[in-house]
Chains A and B, each alone.
Chain A
Amino acid sequence: MSGPGGGSGGGAAIRTDALTKRFGAHTAVAGLDLEVPRGAVFGFLGPNGSGKTTTIRMLLGLVSPSAGRAEVLGEPIPDALRRVLPRVGALVEGPAFYPFLSGRANLERLDTADPLAPPRTRAARVAAALERVGLSHAARKRVHAYSLGMKQRLGLAAAILLPRELLVLDEPTNGLDPQGTREVRALIRSLADDGTTVFVSSHLLAEVEQICSHAAVLRAGRLVAQAELGALREGARFRFEVRTPDAAEAAEVLRRFGVEPEPAGPGIVAGVAAHALDGGGADRPAHDGVPPPEAVVAALVAAGVRVRGFSAGAGSLEERFVELTGEGFDVAG
């Protein structure tokens, strides 16, 4: 599966060309061709150990590529790092701070490290960033006393000390409780609404699925899929599932609609429509070959099947990725 989601080469926020990183005999990233359009919220997905963080480290100039090229915001990396990095906010492999300094002092320290950050507005920008991630109350507390979730949010605050064109966020929801995860998602969404391109990595697809416009999947250092989310869903099979004690009758009805039933557990009959979906959407079958769910339910009831549960729709994106990668998502590559 290939093909960038959109945007011409010059407009890409991130573009890599056969980017490769070898550590001795181990190839962490192999010939990566990535294209992240400006304005996108780009989900960079893959199991732990698949090369996501190494890729991010190369994009930020922390690690030099063994082969291939990378461009960030239209400038070559690592040659133009000094010009590029002030325009990029980043969270790399978890937050890291001086435990003996307060949250605010930590942010001031990082801001001081950027020679382009205006010192006059430093205090105000630090306060605003803390406010935006909901840490104003803990600004004076030493980071030593922060929970992992608070550190994660402080890391996000550090990434948005200045208005950025690109945010590179490595596992931003790691260590957050469900409420914190929702807040981070909302924050990313609001940053994206400001026009910031967001490149967010995760090993948990469900966490980013709701906010991404594009996604790429990495497995064992190789790109296995890269596209707009809608396009990724395209080709997904439409699936029906009926919960009923009358399995035989239900299977018979499904077969009449061209849906081949398969065993799916006790009291469940499931089947996949013969035709694939087009890109129109996952909720509604747009193809002639896909029967309308309401017609299937009516037929089931008419046939005397005791319907206790019914669902119809394209599988989750996660199932789609398993289909693409040929293995479970949480398996290390």
Chain B
Amino acid sequence: MSRAEAGAEPRPAGPATLRLLGSELGILFRRWRTWAMFGALAAVPVLIGLAVRFSGRPPSGRGPAFLNQVTENGLFVGVVALVVCTPLFLPLTVSVVSGDTIAGEASLGTLRYLLVAPAGRVRLLAVKYASTALFCVAAPLAVVLGGTATGLVLFPLGQATLLSGAVIGPGEAFGRLLLMAGYSAVSLLGLAAIGLFASTLTGVPVGAMAATAVLAVVSQILGALDQLEWLHPWLFTHHWLGLADFLREPVAWDSLGQNALLQAGYAAFFAALAYGRFTTKDILA
């Protein structure tokens, strides 16, 4: 192959960037760690289902939301699990993946080779965020699918009674469940951008992961303090438990809209910070 063929011919950057995203996803989803996290997420509904099924006591109404619905409709296992995973488990996995984006490559030393290849700093950042966003979609899906499988095995599949008292069939209930997973994915996009930024600050991936996870917890603590009510609408965790809106008839879309707007704001802000940091950073790792 001649030099001219290899280099001089200008190539559209789009397909090449998609291929890089493909390679990125290949690495993310080929890692043992990623599957361990999916496994752990899918195990939560299994544990909930087993506990409810074999405890012998009907749920009393205390404990996680919707737990009392589980025995009537297996699909509610997924709902309960998603609610249980939202404050800590899901953000933890997203912290791991987003905190690893740049810092992980830096600690392996592969970052310098990607940049020399040259992947392009902006392009690499965009691909890293896109792959993290796809993980944000996959993680709640793991919970929901684990929950659905558990529910089908352990409980009857009947009509589902919604918060508003309306009753829907199992097919629509599963659709609602998927919508809730989508809502959860949107909820995590802001956190993913925070993790991406944290990842550009250090060469130690665990540090970026921990910082991101801590921020998710701190934001929820602030959200629980009534004295800071003025701050609550600005916290990226504020709408996280708005999942329940998908169990109303008709679906209350407001929560999704506000959440999406807030997450987009966080994503834009922290992506800009990550860009500012990463494009000027000396790569010494």
Seen from chain A, the residues whose Cβ lies within 8 Å of a Cβ on chain B are 57, 60-64, 81-82, 85-88, 90, 92-101, 108-119, 121, 125, 158, 162-163, 165
Question: Contacting A113 at CB < 8 Å: which of B1, B30, B109, B117?
Answer: B117
Say yes or no: B118 contacts A86, CB within 8 Å.
yes
Q: Which residue of B lies closest to A100 (CB)?
A: B31
Say yes or no: A118 contacts B5, CB within 8 Å.
yes
Q: A57-B283, A116-B11, A163-B1 are in contact. Are A98 and B27 (CB under 8 A)?
A: yes
Among residues 39 to 62 in chain B, which have CB atoms less than 8 Å away from a CB atom of chain A?
none
Say yes or no: B20 contacts A85, CB within 8 Å.
no
Say yes or no: B110 contacts A114, CB within 8 Å.
no
Say yes or no: A57 contacts B120, CB within 8 Å.
no
Question: Contacting B16 at CB < 8 Å: which of A61, A90, A115, A121?
Answer: A115
Q: Which residue of A lies closest to B12 (CB)?
A: A115
Question: Contacting B6 at CB < 8 Å: which of A62, A82, A94, A116?
Answer: A116
A113 proximity list for chain B (CB < 8 A): 20, 23, 114, 117-119, 124
Q: Which residue of A lies closest to B283 (CB)?
A: A62
Among residues 108 to 138 in chain B, which have CB atoms less than 8 Å away from a CB atom of chain A?
108-110, 112-120, 123-124
Seen from chain B, the residues whose Cβ lies within 8 Å of a Cβ on chain A are 1-3, 5-7, 11, 13, 16-17, 19-20, 22-23, 27, 30-32, 108-110, 112-120, 123-124, 280, 282-284
Measured CA separation A18–B182 after assembly (Å): 55
Say yes or no: B284 contacts A63, CB within 8 Å.
yes
A119 proximity list for chain B (CB < 8 A): 16, 19
Given contact pairs A86-B118, A115-B17, enumerate 20 new A-B contacts (beta carbons under 8 Å): A57-B112, A60-B116, A61-B118, A62-B284, A63-B282, A64-B280, A64-B282, A82-B120, A87-B7, A88-B116, A97-B108, A97-B110, A98-B27, A99-B108, A108-B23, A114-B117, A115-B13, A115-B20, A116-B7, A158-B113
Interface on chain A toward B: helix, strand, loop, or mixed SS?
loop
Please report the number of residue pairs spanning A and B whose Cβ atoms sit closer than 8 angstroms: 107
26 residue pairs A–B, Cβ–Cβ below 8 Å: A57-B283, A57-B284, A60-B116, A61-B115, A61-B116, A62-B115, A62-B282, A62-B284, A82-B120, A85-B118, A90-B113, A93-B112, A94-B109, A96-B112, A98-B27, A100-B30, A109-B23, A110-B113, A112-B23, A113-B119, A114-B117, A115-B17, A115-B120, A115-B123, A116-B7, A125-B1
Say yes or no: A117 contacts B6, CB within 8 Å.
yes
B20 proximity list for chain A (CB < 8 A): 112-113, 115
Measured CA separation A115–B14 after assembly (Å): 9
Measured CA separation A63–B120 after assembly (Å): 14
Say yes or no: A96 contacts B117, CB within 8 Å.
no
The smallest beta-carbon distance between A17 and chain B, in angstroms, is 20
Closest 9 CB pairs of A and B: A96-B109, A85-B118, A113-B117, A115-B16, A113-B119, A62-B283, A63-B282, A112-B23, A114-B117
Measured CA separation A95–B6 after assembly (Å): 24
Say yes or no: A114 contacts B119, CB within 8 Å.
yes
The smallest beta-carbon distance between A105 and chain B, in angstroms, is 8
Q: A62-B283, A101-B27 are in contact. Are A82 and B118 (CB under 8 A)?
A: yes
Q: A85-B116, A117-B6 are in contact. Are A98 and B108 (CB under 8 A)?
A: yes
Say yes or no: B118 contacts A114, CB within 8 Å.
yes
Measured CA separation A57–B13 after assembly (Å): 25
Measured CA separation A77–B22 after assembly (Å): 30
Q: Which residue of A lies closest to B8 (CB)?
A: A116
Q: A63-B283, A98-B108, A163-B6 are in contact. Are A115 and B114 (CB under 8 A)?
A: no
